[in-house]
Amino acid sequence: MKYDVIVIGSGPGGYVTAIRASQLGFKTAVIEKESLGGICLNWGCIPTKALLKSAQVYDYLKHVDDYGLKAEAIDKDFEAVIKRSRGVAQGMSKGIEFLMKKNKIDVIMGTGKVKPGKKVDVTDADGKVTEYDADHIIIATGARSRELPNLPQDGKKVIGYRQAMSLPEQPKKMIVVGSGAIGVEFAHFYNSMGTDVTIVEFMPNVVPVEDEDVSKAFLNSLKKSGIKVMLNSAVESVDTSGEGVVATVKTAKGEEKLEADILLSAVGIKTNIENIGLEDVGIVVDKDKIIVNDFYQTNIPGYYAIGDVVPGQALAHVASAEGITCVEKIAGLHTEPIDYGNIPGCTYASPEIASVGMTEKAAKEAGYELKIGKFPFSASGKASAAGNKEGFVKVIFDAKYGEWLGCHMIGAGVTDMIAEAVLGRKLETTGHEVLKTVHPHPTMSEAVMEAVAAAYDEVIHL
């Protein structure tokens, strides 16, 4: 079978790439070894948000008196919460199946392996191997939970994010290793459900990629919610011989032993680039990533790679953008390289975190003279009415030219607000232009305008 484009992997990078390729007139096939939608739709972005929504609703119910309401016998059904999450994921996967049919994309179920001569071997569930040809082969095989030598995952007591989404019963105690987005989202969910959670973080700050002001505020929120946090600490070994797990943690004060039912390892990801034929074709790999140019062409003509398997942020929206850029370049359209300095990052714990661009520390290290503004949600009418006064918006501008260098938010719903900053930065807007853009009242988004006003000494409501 001959195609114009074959995409290996159907995650948010792969399926979006396939759809755009089909829209551009390419005869397209996508190869998937498990479920359409990949990790994001089935075991990542989508089902975790379903879990977190259940946690949010449960939290509202537990504090219903704060809203002048009364409710009795508030409780949760952990099994039903997990079941709902899985149902949401399955529905989304079926939606991708519909999109494949709608766009006349052939779905080939099996494990793909690239071969020289622009060929792909696909091994199906029965072990049968079928060869396919394509003018362009795009690798979008994604990544999985990274295992550390001292933290081997057995899938039962020491688990990754995938098992954390479908535990048969709720643990009484849980250790979460790593305080990136995955770690803190699961820590928040399980803590909300009533699990005793301890986070162990190697760095001096939680959510270490974020601005330090955001990190400090989030740490306070974690502690206020009852989550224990150990910073500058590392799990040296785990003992799973007993009923639960015992982790030996190295801290600044010496060794400490933590006991729990489950240990969740959330220390990053490992790319899925083994046994997919890269060595046979001669595709160059460095530091666990496939090396590509600005338009995702590998060193071998006709072979491309996008998403988690290439350098850059390992985020669903980045993979989608890379895939679209890749096939539009193949089609001969005028397209520009992605600006990786303007990629929004979101963490969906409570409070939410959203950011784009430089942190204050990075901007200072780059030599900029800064104008910085902060506006707390405690001064927001909408936040007060909603009972969500925690958090703030922080904006960073170049004092000389007014360039919007960075935007950092923590609070309820900020992951839906960050796009304003991303778009503003894309359009090279200045602080004064944001300040003079009328924002609706009362909304949480007013805090962006107010933070900019604070940076220019024109803030009204603070």
How far is Cα 377 from Cα 388, in angstroms, rounded to an integer?
Answer: 8
Tokens of 426: 């894309």
Number of helices followed by number of strands (H, E) in the chain: 14, 24
Burial class for 86, CB neighbours closer than 10 Å (0-12, 13-18, 19+): middle
Catalytic residue among 63, 432, 441, 461: 441
How far CA 209 is from CA of 42, 205, 232, 360, in Å, comes to: 26, 9, 15, 12
Is residue 408 flagged as an active site residue? no
How far is Cα 341 from Cα 337, in angstroms, rounded to an integer?
Answer: 12
With H, G, I as helix, E, B as strand and everything else as coil, classify residue 123: strand
With H, G, I as helix, E, B as strand and everything else as coil, classify residue 269: strand
Q: List residues bridging with 354 in a β-sheet.
A: 346, 409
**In terms of DSSP H, where are the helices of 284-369?**
316-330, 360-365
How far is Cα 366 from Cα 364, in angstroms, rounded to an integer?
Answer: 5
How far CA 164 is from CA of 46, 85, 366, in Å, comes to: 14, 12, 39
Q: List residues bridging with 243 in a β-sheet.
A: none
Q: One-letter amino acid identity for 302?
A: G
What residues are labeled active site?
441
